[in-house]
Amino acid sequence: MNMAVYGAVFLLLFLICTLGADVVTIDVHAAKGLIQSGYVYLDVRTVEEFQKGHVDATKIINIPYMLSTPKGMVKNPNFVKEVSSACNKQDHFIVGCKSGVRSQYATTDLLADGFKNVKDMEGGYMEWVKNKFHVKVSSDIEEL
Annotation marks residue 87 as catalytic? no
Chain centroid, CA 75 distance in Å: 13
Helices 101-112 and 79-86, axial angle in degrees (round to 10): 70
Residue 128 and residue 112 in contact, taking contact as beta carbons nearer than 8 Å: no
Rounded Cα distance, 22 and 18, in Å: 7
**Catalytic pick among 35, 40, 66, 97:** 97
Instruction: Determine the Cα–Cα distance for residues 94 and 83; give it in Å rounded to an integer.
Output: 12
Residues 55/135, Cβ–Cβ less than 8 Å: yes
Residue 7 DSSP code: H
Q: Mind telling me the catalytic residues?
A: 97
